[in-house]
Structure 1
Amino acid sequence: MASIPSDKPNIRQVASIAGVSHMTVSRVLNDHPNIKPETRRRVLEAIEELDYRPNLAARALATQRTGRIGVIVESAVAFAPSSVLRAVERAARAAGYSITSVALHDDDPLTPQDAVDNLTAQGVDALCVVAPRSSSVAALRKIAITVPLLVVKADSDPTFLTVSVDQQAGASLVVDHLVALGHRDILHVAGPLDWLDARARERAFHARAKSWGIRERPIVVGDWTADFAYDFAMGLTRLPEYTAIFAANDDTAIGLIHGLHDRGFDVPGDLSVVGFDDVPLSRHFLPPLTTVRQDFHALGQAVVEMLHAAMEEREIPHLTRIPTELVVRGSTASPRGAR
């Protein structure tokens, strides 16, 4: 290939290096379907060699699009929603889009309608809603939205595009792991059930427990926080009948472990504890936490891929739910009395 020019590269230099016309480069940049794989490969290699960045303003004029995706995220400070947002930002940047986000918080009067109005006023080409509550999804159904809309949630929906990490499979992996260790009485400390992920995990927990024929114990509904879980564990006056706890997320799990320790109970000697998320510190808890790992990177790529196809008015990719992985560490063991 030719040497890289010292000035800022342009589309014609990419075309020259790749041996194609500048129109072909433009079609590759806009993901036109009728490009031969070999031609696409040469163009992408030339773009990488030159470190070429398209002129977004010119592209917006040509396509009547801004190259911006709007993201509405519930509780952006929590680990999973913030991780999804970062993953979408990375995937969008790699695909030539920018991200503008609006966060909804419990103590904020901002409504889903306000968030949609804010983002559409900025001319976004598509919208994504991360970690939604059922109330937010219900509100979205009442809003006239003229751009493609994707909701990150476990269940398919006739109104929106959807994609998610497989929450049901993750919860099932937890139950299967605990049953394989010998547990037959498991408590689920759920997240707030207005959150769709919490509801999906709770339903999957009950379904999997029923399929194994183990005790159907009422769940405890938490709020995702370690403080709630700590207080719950500290409220135990004696060692409970259940021998394992499936926590809705890792924050809940670490609060439980802390509270159980302060009440004089051993994890996993007296009670096994499993989390969900695999936060970076989960391997350093004492004991290190058995948990469900979510592939946020793959989720971010899937979100952008689906929205890109919708913006291009192409067939939406058939994307299954993103698989989960159970990471087994030191917080689970066979039930007391079975060792």
Structure 2
Amino acid sequence: MTEPLADSPSARAATRKRGPSLGDVAAHAGVSTQTVSRVANGLTNVEDSTRQRVLASMQELGYRPNRAARALRSGRFRNIGVVMFTLSSYGNMRTLDAIAVSAAKAGYSITVVPVERPTQQDVSVALGRLVEQSVDGIIVVIEAHIIDRADVELPAGLSVVVVDSTERSDYPQVDTDQAEGARQATQHLLDLGHRTVWHIAGPAESYSAGRRQASWRRTLEEAGAPVPDVLPGDWSTGAGYRHGLEIASHPEITAVFAANDQMALGVLRALHEAGRRVPEDVSVVGFDDMAESDSFWPPLTTVHQEFEAIGRRAVELLLAEIESRPEPVRSSVMATHLVVRASTAPPPAR
């Protein structure tokens, strides 16, 4: 039986049915199959003009590299797993976006498994799902103390980087200087002349919230200022609003540090509704410096976090582990700094 000619209708129909092959792309681009293979595997020893021609042919023909075959050849799937608790928070979404962009630039895709509850069972199930989906490494962004528990086992033999989630030293970590940010926020209000600073904290299980709260308390104690009872929150504007209504009923409260900008926004609304002026009567500071914080009214004084840098660094550390590159720094702490806007001022004269 004779084979159909390469350019015949039957040949083109067969190609569409089975999908274009490496050889089809090579013939279309006028290069060797080895060159197409190098481009498909993300290797750099190909001239840029040739690479662009091969990529254009891949796109025109609809060629998709066989990831399983490529993994067998290279020992890698070029896929990064991400375990993340709550995709709705501002910080997590900014971090995830940076992880995705950095991974794509390095020729990796990502697989995200969200964790509904930060429990041992849910985290273990999420990690197991990623191992089954053939990832080369995992970035864990849980934010809760769950990773510190002995009954949570991170996958053996698989590269793992932990973001803002643990005190463990057996895995590379990317952390934010939560303590310094909270210290700056609290000290800023004390320096303005406020007798003390009230604190709306994040969830009790949150690693980040715990460090912000501890630093707030320590800063007050070192200044000899009274330490008010902590107002427990859950990162939501609703929590900030509820506490803001209570704060508004106490004229002796003149300064509030909320553990994130969303709760600070709730405080601003409650104070406005109660007729308490910001910052003339009450100063308010947040944490995160979310994109809209300078559009709050008044514009919010807050602690800036480098979420994009956190995501990029997490990918850098993970790829160094995956590709066995020398990496002298196993962990990184990203700096925070206070951004002073119009929501803070000296306390009212008594």
With over 3 angstroms needed to count, the CA separation of the structure-2 counterparts of 1:165 and 1:47, relative to structure 1, is farther
**TM-score normalized by the length of structure 2:** 0.79
Q: How does 1:120-135 map to 2 (within 5 A)?
A: 120-135=131-146
The residue number in structure 1 matching 2:297 is 286
Contact 1:243–1:270 (Cα < 8 Å) also in 2: yes
With over 3 angstroms needed to count, the CA separation of the structure-2 counterparts of 1:160 and 1:134, relative to structure 1, is same
> How many Å apart are 1:280 and its aligned residue?
1.6
With over 3 angstroms needed to count, the CA separation of the structure-2 counterparts of 1:304 and 1:286, relative to structure 1, is same
> How many Å apart are 1:113 and its aligned residue?
1.4
Query: Out of 177, 182, 207, which is 1:171 matched to?
Result: 182
Query: Out of 212, 218, 223, which is 1:212 matched to?
Result: 223
Secondary structure of the 2:149 match is helix
With over 3 angstroms needed to count, the CA separation of the structure-2 counterparts of 1:165 and 1:87, relative to structure 1, is same
Q: How does 1:84-103 map to 2 (within 5 A)?
A: 84-103=95-114
The residue number in structure 1 matching 2:264 is 253
> How many Å apart are 1:297 and its aligned residue?
1.3
Q: How does 1:145-160 map to 2 (within 5 A)?
A: 145-153=156-164, 156-160=167-171
The residue number in structure 1 matching 2:89 is 78
Contact 2:137–2:322 (Cα < 8 Å) also in 1: yes
> How many Å apart are 1:162 and its aligned residue?
1.1
Tell me, which stretches of 5 or more residues in structure 1 are unaligned?
1-5, 15-21, 31-39
> How many Å apart are 1:144 and its aligned residue?
4.6
In structure 2, how many angstroms separate the alpha carbons of the residues matched to 1:317 and 1:44? 30
In structure 2, how many angstroms separate the alpha carbons of the residues matched to 1:259 and 1:179? 23
Contact 1:295–1:322 (Cα < 8 Å) also in 2: yes
**TM-score normalized by the length of structure 1:** 0.81
Contact 2:144–2:165 (Cα < 8 Å) also in 1: no
Moved more, 43-52 or 235-244: 43-52
Tell me, which stretches of 5 or more residues in structure 2 are unaligned?
1-27, 56-63
In structure 2, how many angstroms separate the alpha carbons of the residues matched to 1:107 and 1:300? 20
Counterpart AA for 1:324: T
The residue number in structure 2 matching 1:325 is 337
Paired residues, number = 314
> How many Å apart are 1:321 and its aligned residue?
0.7
Contact 2:173–2:332 (Cα < 8 Å) also in 1: no
Secondary structure of the 2:292 match is helix
In structure 2, how many angstroms separate the alpha carbons of the residues matched to 1:294 and 1:8? 49
With over 3 angstroms needed to count, the CA separation of the structure-2 counterparts of 1:48 and 1:80, relative to structure 1, is farther
In structure 1, how many angstroms separate the alpha carbons of the residues matched to 2:32 and 2:215? 52
In structure 1, how many angstroms separate the alpha carbons of the residues matched to 2:309 and 2:244? 35
Secondary structure of the 1:276 match is strand
With over 3 angstroms needed to count, the CA separation of the structure-2 counterparts of 1:151 and 1:143, relative to structure 1, is closer
Secondary structure of the 1:99 match is strand
Moved more, 215-224 or 117-126: 215-224
Counterpart AA for 1:238: S
In structure 2, how many angstroms separate the alpha carbons of the residues matched to 1:76 and 1:8? 45
Secondary structure of the 2:287 match is coil
Q: How does 1:45-56 map to 2 (within 5 A)?
A: 46=48, 50=52
Aligned-residue sequence identity (percent) comes to 34
Contact 1:10–1:52 (Cα < 8 Å) also in 2: no
> How many Å apart are 1:184 and its aligned residue?
2.9
Query: Out of 308, 317, 323, which is 1:312 matched to?
Result: 323
In structure 2, how many angstroms separate the alpha carbons of the residues matched to 1:83 and 1:311? 24
Kindly report the root-mean-square deviation, in angstroms, between the aligned alpha carbons of the 2 structures: 3.3
In structure 2, how many angstroms separate the alpha carbons of the residues matched to 1:130 and 1:8? 45
Q: How does 1:182-201 map to 2 (within 5 A)?
A: 182-201=193-212
The residue number in structure 2 matching 1:238 is 249
With over 3 angstroms needed to count, the CA separation of the structure-2 counterparts of 1:148 and 1:280, relative to structure 1, is same
The residue number in structure 1 matching 2:5 is none
In structure 2, how many angstroms separate the alpha carbons of the residues matched to 1:179 and 1:8? 70
In structure 2, how many angstroms separate the alpha carbons of the residues matched to 1:147 and 1:86? 23
In structure 2, how many angstroms separate the alpha carbons of the residues matched to 1:154 and 1:143? 13
Moved more, 237-246 or 139-148: 139-148
In structure 1, how many angstroms separate the alpha carbons of the residues matched to 2:301 and 2:66? 45
> How many Å apart are 1:88 and its aligned residue?
0.8
Secondary structure of the 1:103 match is strand
Moved more, 44-53 or 329-338: 44-53
Query: Out of 287, 303, 306, which is 2:314 matched to?
Result: 303
